[in-house]
């Protein structure tokens, strides 16, 4: 369910008009997934499953997770991300902020990179039971593991290329694209507020914080 919902959310966020046709989106997605899974029900399906499971769902996941962790902690900024989280769930104590900042900037990226390096060191050509996969099969596995990263990189390059350049350099374009737009914020119209200083005596996340309303906009029904 989690994997299916992830795909559905990505599709509907990319094409908002499909949200009104969710039943058909779910149906088509399930049919495509069903057709793609038929191959693993054949006599050699287990070998295909092992190939995909050992390459597609391991290397690319660690690399993308490490890259995402580094982007959040260092490029977008842990402090900025922390402010976004507090806007959604309420202010945190200073100790809690330090805890999450250390994890986002240091522990998470280092842990993911360490696990990735450990897997690379321990890497052996794929085998299942008494069968050792040929070289071309391992090569195909590496290609499959690179496909998600190639797609992400290609979309990033496309976004940078089609961004109006003006007098901006490549670095300035990337910096511009990493900034939230003016429309960023809650999807529904809610009162704008600023968070009060957190209670220094509370070491946890404040579940029901006090907010100072600065500008009340019309709330849609």
* Dihedral pair phi/psi, residue 128, rounded to 5°: -135, 110
Instruction: Kindly state the percentage of the chain with pLDDT values over 90.
Output: 43
Is pTM, for the whole model, over 0.75?
A: no
How many angstroms separate the first and last alpha carbons of the chain?
31
| pLDDT given for residue 181 in this prediction | 73
Handedness of CA 145, 149, 151, 154 (dihedral sign): negative
| pLDDT given for residue 136 in this prediction | 94
Q: Is the pLDDT of residue 89 over 60?
A: yes
**Average pLDDT over the chain, rounded to whole?**
82
Cα–Cα distance for residue pair 95/75, rounded to 1 Å = 23
Instruction: Please report, for the chain, how many H helices and E strands are present, in that order.
Output: 9, 4
| pLDDT given for residue 62 in this prediction | 87
| pLDDT given for residue 2 in this prediction | 81
Q: 112: how many CB neighbours lie within 10 A of its CB?
A: 20
Virtual torsion, Cα 194, 86, 83, 14, nearest 10 deg: -110
Note the pLDDT tens digit of each residue in 118-128.
988 988 889 99
- How far, in whole angstroms, is CA 145 from its chain's centroid? 17
Confidence of residue 29 (pLDDT cuts 50, 70, 90): very high
Ranges 21-25, 169-173, 184-188, most confident: 21-25
Length reported for the chain = 221
Helix, strand, or coil here: 46? helix
Task: Find the mean pLDDT for residues 167-187.
Answer: 78
The domains of the chain are located at 1-41, 45-215
Cα–Cα distance for residue pair 163/157, rounded to 1 Å = 10
| pLDDT given for residue 117 in this prediction | 92
Instruction: Kindly state the percentage of the chain with pLDDT values over 70.
Output: 83
């Amino acid at each position: 369910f989690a994997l299916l919902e992830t795909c559905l959310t990505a599709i509907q966020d990319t094409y908002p008009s499909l949200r009104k046709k969710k039943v058909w989106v779910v149906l088509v997605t399930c049919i495509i997934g069903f057709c793609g899974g038929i191959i693993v029900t054949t006599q050699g399906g287990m070998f295909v499953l092992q190939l995909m499971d050992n390459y597609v769902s391991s290397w690319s996941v660690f690399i993308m997770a490490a890259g995402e962790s580094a982007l959040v902690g260092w490029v977008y900024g842990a402090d900025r991300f922390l402010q976004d989280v507090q806007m959604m769930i309420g202010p945190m104590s200073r100790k809690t902020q330090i805890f999450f900042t250390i994890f986002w900037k240091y522990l998470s990226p280092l842990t993911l990179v360490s696990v990735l390096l450990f897997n690379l060191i321990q890497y052996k050509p794929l085998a299942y039971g008494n069968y050792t996969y040929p070289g071309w099969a391992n090569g195909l596995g590496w290609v499959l593991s690179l496909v998600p990263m190639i797609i992400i990189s290609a979309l990033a390059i496309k976004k940078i290329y089609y961004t109006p350049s003006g007098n901006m350099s490549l670095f300035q374009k990337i910096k511009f694209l990493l900034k939230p737009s003016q429309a960023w914020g809650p999807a529904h119209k809610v009162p704008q507020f600023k968070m009060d200083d957190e209670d220094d005596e509370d070491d946890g996340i404040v579940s029901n914080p006090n907010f100072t309303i600065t500008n009340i906009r019309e709330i849609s029904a």
